[in-house]
A and B are shown apart, each in its own frame.
Chain A
Amino acid sequence: MTSAFWPQGNFVARSVGMPDIPRVQLPHPVAGTGQQNMQQVADDVVDNVILALTGRESTA
């Protein structure tokens, strides 16, 4: 989720009983910022997504 919605994500995670659910922060905004920027955001966070989901560093 993007930084602007990070507190809401934390709130929902707690309220549904999954406070430790893996999540990765993106810069805000992402929507509408153009393909080039979105590709850069994806490149920047992909290792964090893998780490959050697997608990392991990316080997790529």
Chain B
Amino acid sequence: MNRSPVLEAVSEEAALEQLHEMGCTDGLPVVIPTPDRVARMVLAMVHAPEISLGQMGPNFGECTFERLAACAVMAGCTADHAPVVVAAAQAILDPRFDLTEMQSTTYATAPLLIVNGPARTWTGLESGYGALGPGFRANASIGRALRLAMINIGGGRAGQSDMALLGHAGKFTMCLAEDEENSPFPPLHEDRRCPAGSSAVTVIGADAPSSIMINVDADDPTCGDRVLASFAAAFANPITNNVALGGGQAALALNPDHAALLADLGHTRRSIAEGVCERAVVAGADFAKTAGWMRPPRDGQEIRCFEDPDDLLIFVAGGGGLYSAAFASWCAGPHRNQAVTVTIETDLSCEVPGMQ
């Protein structure tokens, strides 16, 4: 039976200290996963507690619904968050995500969760100003639940099995919704083959966001090209893995103003991706001076960041203004740490007694 042992403590304060000492937290206080709280979260996940979603590396622990529910409780999730946590766990357990290798790498990478569809509303996920920053419970808790699962089920612990040399703050949580209401494009998940009207989470292993400053000017006939060139410049840096290794993916968060400008110029998500990929190129000579030892360029060869426009995940998020954001990525692992989109099961949920 894949049931978890129950620890004992004289108080919640003592239990918290015990969990810290055991290395079961992310360093911040957690909600104590009492059997009652975990049982209710399992109910919200609508599966038997002992059923496993798969083995989570590098520890190859069974990701049972009970263990995942315990992590969701610890992270501060509500019952409404549970289906998103389950879908996110399914995404990182997909072999294409290369979780074991990603957890073990020296690179600074973390799962970026992008949620689409009606689940954004009933979970309360934020997509606008500061969506990746502090202050939004669903954003903070859902991403944190996944991280706690990666620690406690997957065994990713800094300096022992998670060998990220520095890491980044997104390893605590990095979750947001796409701003579908202010996007001129179809929702991201629908362009990734999910049915219209469904909810889904897309997970990509990502660097911390890098701001891209673009001052748009509707009177400037070259503005569209400038915007695409600016996006491309954010990735076409010879010392990033997207260039040094190549063959990987990346994410691009368009702020609503930049998205609207490009849509007014006739662009689609696909044409933006094509335009960025076409421009995200490093001269072989520049590459040779820096990371060229990774794959020495031939004379005159250009080094491309992306092999296919589908390798660039474009979504609309954040407030309107000067900045969009680029998320470079690790680009290694057997499947190059591919992004995975999983539909969020919403038909099975029920009201859970004693939970929000």
A and B co-occur in one complex = yes
Q: Is the CB–CB distance between A15 and B160 below 8 Å? A: no
* Min distance, Cβ A56 to any Cβ of chain B, angstroms: 32
Question: Given contacts A8-B104, A11-B155, is CB(A16)–CB(B60) below 8 Å?
Answer: yes
Which residues of B123-171 are within 8 A (CB) of A?
155, 159-161, 163
Closest to B60 in A: A15
The interface residues of chain B lying within 8 Å CB-to-CB of A12 are 58, 104, 161
- Say yes or no: is A19 at the interface (Cβ < 8 Å to chain B): no
- Say yes or no: is B59 at the interface (Cβ < 8 Å to chain A): yes
Q: Is the CB–CB distance between B160 and A8 below 8 Å? A: yes
Q: In the docked arrangement, what's the CA distance between A54 and B349, Å?
A: 58
* Min distance, Cβ A54 to any Cβ of chain B, angstroms: 29
Q: Is the CB–CB distance between B159 and A15 below 8 Å? A: no
Q: Is the CB–CB distance between B60 and A11 below 8 Å? A: no
Q: Is the CB–CB distance between A15 and B163 below 8 Å? A: no
The interface residues of chain A lying within 8 Å CB-to-CB of B159 are 7
Q: In the docked arrangement, what's the CA distance between A11 and B60, Å?
A: 11
Question: Given contacts A5-B163, A8-B160, is CB(A15)–CB(B59) below 8 Å?
Answer: yes
Mark each residue of chain A from 1 to 28: 1 if its CB lies under 8 Å from any CB of chain B, else 0.
0000101100110011000000000000
Mark each residue of chain B from 33 to 60: 1 if its CB lies under 8 Å from any CB of chain A, else 0.
0000000000000000000000001111
Question: Given contacts A8-B160, A8-B161, is CB(A15)–CB(B155) below 8 Å?
Answer: yes
* Min distance, Cβ B188 to any Cβ of chain A, angstroms: 34
Q: In the complex, how many residues of chain A place their beta carbon closer than 8 angstroms to a beta carbon of chain B?
A: 7
Q: In the docked arrangement, what's the CA distance between A16 and B160, Å?
A: 15
Closest to A14 in B: B59
Closest to B160 in A: A7
Q: In the docked arrangement, what's the CA distance between A8 and B103, Å?
A: 11
Residue with the greatest number of chain B CB neighbours at <10 A, chosen from A5, A7, A15, A16: A15
The interface residues of chain A lying within 8 Å CB-to-CB of B57 are 15
* Min distance, Cβ A45 to any Cβ of chain B, angstroms: 21
Closest to A11 in B: B161
Q: In the docked arrangement, what's the CA distance between A12 and B159, Å?
A: 13
Closest to A5 in B: B163
Q: In the docked arrangement, what's the CA distance between A20 and B202, Å?
A: 39
Q: In the docked arrangement, what's the CA distance between A16 and B58, Å?
A: 9
The interface residues of chain B lying within 8 Å CB-to-CB of A5 are 163
Q: In the docked arrangement, what's the CA distance between A7 and B161, Å?
A: 7
Which residues of B53-107 are within 8 A (CB) of A?
57-60, 104
Taking Cβ atoms with an 8 Å cutoff, the residues of B that contact A are 57-60, 104, 155, 159-161, 163
Q: A8-B160, A11-B160, A16-B60 are in contact. List 11 more A-B contacts (CB 8 A).
A: A5-B163, A7-B159, A8-B161, A11-B58, A11-B59, A11-B161, A12-B104, A12-B161, A15-B58, A15-B59, A15-B161
The 7 closest A-B pairs by CB, nearest first: A11-B161, A7-B160, A15-B59, A11-B160, A15-B60, A8-B163, A8-B161
**What are 23 of the A-B contact pairs (CB < 8 Å)?**
A5-B163, A7-B159, A7-B160, A7-B161, A8-B104, A8-B160, A8-B161, A8-B163, A11-B58, A11-B59, A11-B155, A11-B160, A11-B161, A12-B58, A12-B104, A12-B161, A15-B57, A15-B58, A15-B59, A15-B60, A15-B155, A15-B161, A16-B60
